[in-house]
């Protein structure tokens, strides 16, 4: 179960980061010309927001795993899955 949960968390965070990078690139295009320092500020902002939003989710998933809360883990999998099952 530990490997499955770790894989799920890794996949979730990978998808989130991919989306963050895509949205960041689009936003930077719309902003126009800014220097590298400003780009870093915007990138850091998006990274911190994603981290703050997903930290409790990941903590709750790990708590559920440690406490064998199968229904919670199933719910998390369904909520954050890319499959339509």
In a domain, 24, yes or no: yes
Per-residue pLDDT of the chain (85 residues; tens, 9 = 90+): 668 888 889 999 999 999 999 999 999 999 999 999 999 999 999 999 999 999 999 999 999 999 999 999 999 989 988 765 4
Residue 50 CB contacts under 8 Å (≥ 6 apart), including other chains? 16, 17, 20
Q: Radius of gyration (Cα) for the chain, nearest Å?
A: 16
Q: How many residues does the chain have?
A: 85
Report the number of distinct structural domains present in the chain. 1
Quick count: other Cβ atoms within 10 Å of Cβ 51?
A: 13
Boundaries of domain holding 54: 2-80
In a domain, 85, yes or no: no
In a domain, 54, yes or no: yes
């Amino acid at each position: 179960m530990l490997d499955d949960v770790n894989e799920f968390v890794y996949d979730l965070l990978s998808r989130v980061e991919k989306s963050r990078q895509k949205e960041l690139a689009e936003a930077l295009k719309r902003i126009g010309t800014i220097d590298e320092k400003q780009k870093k500020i915007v990138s850091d902002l998006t990274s911190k927001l994603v981290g703050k939003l997903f930290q409790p989710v990941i903590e709750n998933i790990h708590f559920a795993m440690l406490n064998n809360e199968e229904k919670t883990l199933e719910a998390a999998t369904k909520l954050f899955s890319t499959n339509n099952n």
